[in-house]
Structure 1
Amino acid sequence: MARLGAAMVACLTLFVAMAAAAGPVEFIGAVTDQRARLVIKAPRVLPFANDQIGRGLILTFDPPLRGDPAPAQAALRGFVEAIELEDGGATVVVTLAAGQRARVSRKGTDIVVEIAATDVALAKAPDAAPIIPARVGRHPRYDRVVFDWPRRVGYRLNVADGRARVTFQAPGRIDVAALARRLPAGFKVTALAGATPGLTFDLPGDVSVRGARLGPKIVLDFTRPGLAAKPKSTAKPPAPVKTKSAAKPPAPVKTPPAAPAKTAGAEQPASVPSPAKTGVASQPKAPQNASPSGKT
């Protein structure tokens, strides 16, 4: 039973891996005059991004590819040195021969890589791709670049060695010269070759980059440690409004009691004279004895 269970798990894992893959693709190489063409024939439209570093053309796929690029590599001898599948088919690396350059485009469900010497003109990319406006905003703590795509598209952001590379997984045209004029001092932007637009930003100092999606828009925020923080407001909060208390009711007016009404014809009582003080009759003084006038 244990072996049966392990076998079922292995089969299920293989089935999931095959379902996740993009399906088998065919690598075809052809040479005409002074140009060469690598075609990746796919059964359906495959989302991908492309970048070029030196002579290396890097195509990234999600889900990964399955196929054998050896026949195409042999047919393109003199134009490419190697075509390799890496990361389980998620990455295709095309190493160009010295003096060659490449342009990537999509034709139906096929992915086409045009290869030619640097002094030979490559086929122009179709002009049907929409124009993607790029806006630059300055903020107290960061600078922002917004790509206004008309619909939701995939993108990939890689930051290394003082450079940020952003590639989009849909055709479009970006006015790189106008974008460069609007960037802050110290920034430099260049376009990447490919069927889908891509940009490389040379970053000044210790700038960090963060990508985000706002609906169909792709946003890149460039943060510099030296940017001043937003000053805090020092304004005092407004004083509370004093509301007047309700006025006190006026004190009641005290009215003196009414005097009794006088009766007509009533006589006023006569004033009683104050009693006279009764004097005490003075008693007559006793006569004093006369001294004798002579002897008897």
Structure 2
Amino acid sequence: MPPMRPAALLCAAFLAFAAPAMAQPAEAPRIGIRTGVHPGFTRIVFDWPQPVRYSVVQQGEAVEIRFDSPAALDGAPLSRPLRNLRTMERLADGVLLALRPGVQVRHLTVGTRVAVDLLDPAPPRAAAPAAPRPRRGCRGRGRRA
């Protein structure tokens, strides 16, 4: 068996150590989440380092927010009480929000950030005032023409 050349030996060592590391998926970036309570809505902001595709689907009091890129979401800010949010559950590719009754959702992007607004429920409508009852005239009083 011929002796190995130093370059071949180096190449074999590189492949032995580097190949397993290259085969593993890159670690998902940590995505910060900020919240704010404003007049008329509660805002949740996902701070992505680059633009990301996402979807927001509301079904009644449940909202799924899903992202097309892997991420490690920091859900700590969603664990404290917020006016329009009951609970938050992490999903493999996003979050599931349980809203208070009547809350609606709107969403937008600002640069690389994804903002989701939880709109306050509409105030209950006041009952329409009852139609005035017709007055009955008093008999015997007043003048007749």
- TM class by shorter-chain length? 0.5 to 0.7
TM-score (norm 2): 0.62
The Cα RMSD (Å) is 2.5
Report the Cα distance in structure 2 between the residues aligned to 1:144 and 1:184, rounded to whole angstroms: 10
**Residues 84, 118 of structure 2: 8 Å contact kept:** no
**Residues 29, 70 of structure 2: 8 Å contact kept:** yes
Amino acid across the alignment from 1:223:
L
**Residues 136, 182 of structure 1: 8 Å contact kept:** no
Match of 2:72 in 1: 173
Partner SS state of residue 79, structure 2:
helix
Report the Cα distance in structure 2 between the residues aligned to 1:153 and 1:186, rounded to whole angstroms: 24
C-alpha change, 1:132 and 1:223, in structure 2 (3 Å) is same
Listed as ranges, the matches of 1:177-256 within 5 Å are 177-181=76-80, 183-184=82-83, 186-192=85-91, 194=92, 197-225=93-121
- The alpha carbon displacement at 1:161 in A equals 2.7
Match of 1:7 in 2: none
Report the Cα distance in structure 2 between the residues aligned to 1:186 and 1:204, rounded to whole angstroms: 6
Gaps of 5+ in 1: 1-107, 109-124, 228-296
Amino acid across the alignment from 1:213:
T
C-alpha change, 1:186 and 1:218, in structure 2 (3 Å) is closer
Report the Cα distance in structure 2 between the residues aligned to 1:210 and 1:185, rounded to whole angstroms: 13
Listed as ranges, the matches of 1:1-12 within 5 Å are none
- The alpha carbon displacement at 1:225 in A equals 2.7
Gaps of 5+ in 2: 1-22, 124-145
Count of aligned residue pairs for this structure pair = 102
| Higher gyration radius (CA) | 1
Higher relative contact order (CA 8 A, sep 6+): 2
Listed as ranges, the matches of 1:121-132 within 5 Å are 128-132=27-31
- Give the alignment partner of residue 38 of structure 2, picking from 139, 157, 171: 139
TM-score (norm 1): 0.32
- Give the alignment partner of residue 164 of structure 1, picking from 46, 63, 71: 63
Listed as ranges, the matches of 1:49-128 within 5 Å are 128=27
**Residues 158, 165 of structure 1: 8 Å contact kept:** yes
C-alpha change, 1:142 and 1:178, in structure 2 (3 Å) is closer
The structure with the largest strand share of the pair is: 2
